[in-house]
Amino acid sequence: MMKKPRNKKEKLMTVLSGMILFVFNGTTKVLANGTSGGGMQTSTGIPELDNAFAIIKAIFIGLIAVIGVIILAKGISDTAVAYQQQDSHGMYDGAKGIAAGAVMAFISVILGVLGF
């Protein structure tokens, strides 16, 4: 059983994670060819609806990539500042920011490799 969100930040993160899961999951998988073995397709059978989902998915992926580039730049900046100040904790945080930003910036490539 899920615990109840305590504050507005947790509620917002719960809603956003649900939306992201919905978008990355794609459309409902249906047996479009009528066979009983395999043949799963990511289509609703309604071209207008499929196009709308594809546009929404592209917008979300683009938004995540743009935010990822910003996080990547901030991580590089934080790492450089921490390196100049010999702050090992700051270097670690900057490296985490670089990794997170890189994953977000290249999300379309990663999803393509995974088959989404």
* pLDDT tens digits, 92-103: 999 999 999 999
What pLDDT score was predicted for residue 40? 46
What pLDDT score was predicted for residue 2? 59
Instruction: Identify whether the C-beta of residue 60 lies closer than 8 Å to the C-beta of residue 23.
Output: yes
What SS3 string covers the chain? Answer: CCCCCCCHHHHHHHHHHHHHHHHHHCCCCEECCCCCCCCEECCCCCHHHHHHHHHHHHHHHHHHHHHHHHHHHHHHHHHHHHHHHCCHHHHHHHHHHHHHHHHHHCHHHHHHHHCC
Residues of the chain with pLDDT under 70: 1-5, 19, 21-42
CA distances from 85 to 74, 80, 94, 113, 114 (A): 16, 9, 13, 39, 40
What pLDDT score was predicted for residue 9? 73
What pLDDT score was predicted for residue 39? 45
What pLDDT score was predicted for residue 100? 94
